[in-house]
Amino acid sequence: MNITNEIFQVGGSDFTSAEDAAIYAIYIDGHAAIIDAGCGNHQKKLFQNIKDCGIHLSDIDYLLLTHCHYDHTGGAASFRKVTNCKIVAHELDAQFLEKGDNEVTAASWYGAVLHPFAVDLKLTHPKEIIPLGPKKISAFHIPGHSPGSVVYLAESEGQKVLFGQDVHGPIDPQLLSDHAQYQESLRLLLSLDADILCEGHFGIFEGKHNVRDFIGAYITKGKF
């Protein structure tokens, strides 16, 4: 599904498999980044969807992981094996992927096992810049849902597009969630003033007002 002429949804419950979180693609001048990888059970369909957007698998520079949870990362290792891309994640969540922690990654919630895999590029700062062709993607650390949750912000067709997977949470002790950090991170997301929000499970929100309403609904007492 086209979101802009450079941004597409290529995976998720209506695109690949019911257990997959949403998967998005950014494609700029022959360079592509994929946001999240789903559980990996229907990867052939994912690859076909990517190709249907005019993206060659060899064009994929990065797999940008928003956080360590299995419905976003279960397919990451096999995705890299096919595309030879670099996997990017925040260092605070990378440790659970590299250890294959089935509890913190919630793989156990899916009756699955997350086999350990290496993260190629580990984000360490509150904000980092990832080059993609002639443009840049901004990565922001937003702890709360998980210790190393990240959102990615890109500009396309004059609009700021925010890839904010799991803005809605949940907040759960098994996932090492932190409610106070989550609330602070939601306020950071509002400050980014995005025109489009690509969420992990609730779809795509267009227009600043709709984006603010969705994020604001999860802020305690609606103080935003």
Question: How many angstroms separate the most distant Cα atoms in the chain?
Answer: 47
**1 within domain boundaries:** no
Distance (Å, rounded) from C-alpha 211 to C-alpha 194? 7
Residue range of the domain that includes 93: 7-222
**2 within domain boundaries:** no
127 within 8 A of 114, measured Cβ to Cβ: no
Distance (Å, rounded) from C-alpha 129 to C-alpha 194? 17
Instruction: Please state the pTM of the whole predicted model.
Output: 0.96
**3-class SS at 40?**
coil
Given a cut of 80, whether residue 196 has pLDDT beyond it is yes
Using a pLDDT cut of 90, give the percent of the chain over it.
95
CATH number of 166's domain: 3.60.15.10
Residue range 52-90, pLDDT digits in tens: 999 999 999 999 999 999 999 999 999 999 999 999 999
Distance (Å, rounded) from C-alpha 47 to C-alpha 51? 6
Overall domain count for the chain: 1
The DSSP-derived string for 128-170 is EEEEETTEEEEEEE--SSSTT-EEEEEEETTEEEEEETTTT--
| Pair of tokens at residue 116 | 């350990």
